[in-house]
Amino acid sequence: MTPVLDLRHVDVDLPLGGFLTRAGLPILRDVNLSVGRGESVALVGESGSGKTTLARAVMGLQAVTAGEVHFDGTAIAGRDGFSRLRRDAAMMFQDATASLSPRLTVGYLVTEPFRIHRQPLPDPARMARDLLATVGLPPAIADRYPHELSGGQARRVGVARALALRPRLVIADEPTAGLDVSVQAEVLNLMADLRRDMGLAYLIITHNLALVRHVADRIVVLYLGRVVEEGPTAQVFAAPAHPYTASLVAAEPKPDPRKRRADLAIRGEMPSVLRRPAGCEFHTRCPLARDLCRATAPDLRPTTSGRLARCHFADHHQEQGDHHALEN
């Protein structure tokens, strides 16, 4: 079965804005990523790892420097390609309130996709009511302006608008950012229900691992614009193959004072993309780095457990359980 979304060897350089030079910041390097029908994939990494750039590249908001983006089996190119993509895929932004045009009512905003793609919209008011009902909002919300909504309501309006044209893929950038714990749970339940009812596929971009555990079938970890680990969520959390993934898992604050971490799982910050380290790009922060790591860059290779990891010692770590040492 062809995947809904398939990125093949994608590079993205962000233009530096020079007049004559074409040079850019090498944000993404050789990214392969696919999302199957009805599948939920989480893209995980720190800020600066290129997650948001990747989402924008998929939607055509950011030009791809090299490689191909395939949607539903065909390579996306040209005006028509993007127009079709933007009809069948929708994006939810990190700041839900800011992603709603401030001078228009919610009722107009949620039905706007119909107007943009010239789809029949015989009764806009009714359609708005129905869409708002799908995400559990009362019809009265249709008359409000974005700044009159709470964070959770704005998030739901974003979901309603994303669903308007019954897309096959929803790209969600930090879908629970800025929400309270109880509202987070509501939004995650809603996303799970919609996925089941409408057969949606999700690409969820986040650094919140608790969220990933609940909504993703598969996890793709990005570091400095490269995929460093990929595999089924439960397996990756149980035994991370890449030391970076292991440190992300260990860094998550545990809501239990009896499980306080004694020491830091990961020190320092991500290097700049302009000064990518030689060898394995993670070696500057890796607690397990050896001479080989400083000299030779590892490839993204299958591990013995059938996942992909960009680490010379992936299998070794897993056998030795080194990462569990990190957590304690």
Partner 1 sequence: MSFALDPPSRGRRGMGRALLGDPMGLAGLVIVAAFVAMALLAPCIAPYDPVALDVKAKFVAPSAAHWAGTDHLGRDLLSRIIWGARLALGIAITSVGIAGAIGLVLGLVAGYGPRWLDSLLVLVFDSLSSLPMIFFALAVITVLGPGTATLILVIVLVSFPAYARLIRTQTLTLAGADFILAERAMGAGAGRIIFRHLLPNVVGPLVILICMDIPVIIMLEAGLSYLNLGVKPPSPSWGNILAEGYTSLRQAPHVVIVAGIPLVLATLGFTFLGEGLRDVLDPRGAGRRWT
Partner 2 sequence: MTAVLEVQNLSVAYRMQGGALQAVRDVSLSVARGEVLGIMGESGCGKSTLAAAMINLLPAGARVGQGAVRLNGTDILRLPPAAQRALRGKSVAMVFQDPMTAFNPVLTIGRQLADFVGAHDTGLAQPERLAAMLTRVGIPDARSCLGRYPHELSGGMRQRVAIAAALLMQPDVLIADEPTTALDVTMEAQIIHLFRDLRTSFDGAIVIVTHHLGVIAELCDRVAVMYAGQVVEEGAVDAIFHDPQHPYTRALLACDPAVVDPSSGRLPTIGGRLPDLSAPPRGCAFEPRCRVAAVSCREPVPRQRPSAGRSVLCHRGAE
Applying CB under 8 A, which residues contact partner 2?
A: 46-48, 150-151, 176, 178, 180-186, 188-189, 192, 207-211, 213-214, 233-234, 247-248, 251-258, 260-261, 263-269
115 to 122, 123, 133: CA distances (angstroms): 11, 12, 20
Convert residues 90-129 into a mask of x (bound to partner 1 by CB under 8 A) and - (unbound).
xx-xxx--xxxxxxx-------xx-xxx------------
- d(CA 101, CA 147) in angstroms, rounded, equals 10
Q: How far is the CB of 210 from partner 2 (least distance, A)?
A: 4
104 touches which of partner 2, partner 1, none (CB within 5 to 8 A by kind)?
Answer: partner 1
Convert residues 216-255 into a mask of x (bound to partner 1 by CB under 8 A) and - (unbound).
----------------------------------------
CB 195 within 8 A of CB 39: no
148 touches which of partner 1, partner 2, none (CB within 5 to 8 A by kind)?
Answer: partner 1
Question: Using CA atoms in the order 238, 54, 214, 134, what is the torsion angle rounded to 10 degrees?
Answer: -170
- 319 near partner 1, rule: CB under 8 A: no
CB closer to partner 1, 150 vs 272: 150
112 touches which of partner 2, partner 1, none (CB within 5 to 8 A by kind)?
Answer: partner 1
Return the exposure string of 144-175: e unless at least 16 CB atoms fall within 10 Å of the residue's CB, then b: bebeebebbbbbbbbbbbbbbbebbbbbbbbb
- d(CA 180, CA 151) in angstroms, rounded, equals 9
Return the exposure string of 284-320: e unless at least 16 CB atoms fall within 10 Å of the residue's CB, then b: bbbebbeeebeeeebebeebebebbbbbbbbbebbee
Q: How far is the CB of 22 from partner 2 (least distance, A)?
A: 26
CB closer to partner 1, 108 vs 237: 108
Q: How far is the CB of 74 from partner 1 (least distance, A)?
A: 17
- d(CA 249, CA 240) in angstroms, rounded, equals 8
**Which residues within the stretch 147-186 sit at the binding site for partner 1 (CB under 8 A)?**
147-148, 150, 161
- d(CA 220, CA 300) in angstroms, rounded, equals 12
- 71 near partner 1, rule: CB under 8 A: no
- 320 near partner 1, rule: CB under 8 A: no
CB 74 within 8 A of CB 80: no
- Listed residue (168, 146, 166) closest to 157, CA to CA: 146
Q: How far is the CB of 184 from partner 2 (least distance, A)?
A: 6
Catalog residues that contact partner 1 under the rule CB under 8 A: 56, 59, 61, 82-83, 86-87, 90-91, 93-95, 98-104, 112-113, 115-117, 145, 147-148, 150, 161
